[in-house]
Amino acid sequence: MKHLLLVVSLLICLFSCQNRNKKQVEKILNDWIGKEIVFPENLNFSIQGMDEIDFSISDSEYKVMVYVDSMGCTSCKLHLSEWERYINYVDSIYSNMIQFLFFFLIKET
pLDDT at residue 15, as a whole number? 61
96 CB-contact burial (10 Å; exposed 0-12 / middle 13-18 / buried 19+): exposed
Q: Average the pLDDT over 50-69 and give the result.
A: 79
Residues present in the chain in total:
109
Does 92 have pLDDT greater than 90? yes
φ and ψ of 34, to 5 deg: 85, -5
Average pLDDT of the chain is 76
Does 5 have pLDDT greater than 70? no
Range of the domain at 74: 2-105
- What percentage of the chain reaches a pLDDT higher than 90? 8
Does 73 have pLDDT greater than 60? yes
Range with lowest mean pLDDT among 27-36, 49-58, 80-89: 49-58
pLDDT at residue 12, as a whole number? 66
Q: Average the pLDDT over 65-76 and give the result.
A: 72
Relative to beta strand 98-105, strand 62-69 is parallel
Does 18 have pLDDT greater than 70? no
Domain count, the chain: 1
| pLDDT confidence bin for 88, thresholds 50/70/90 | very high
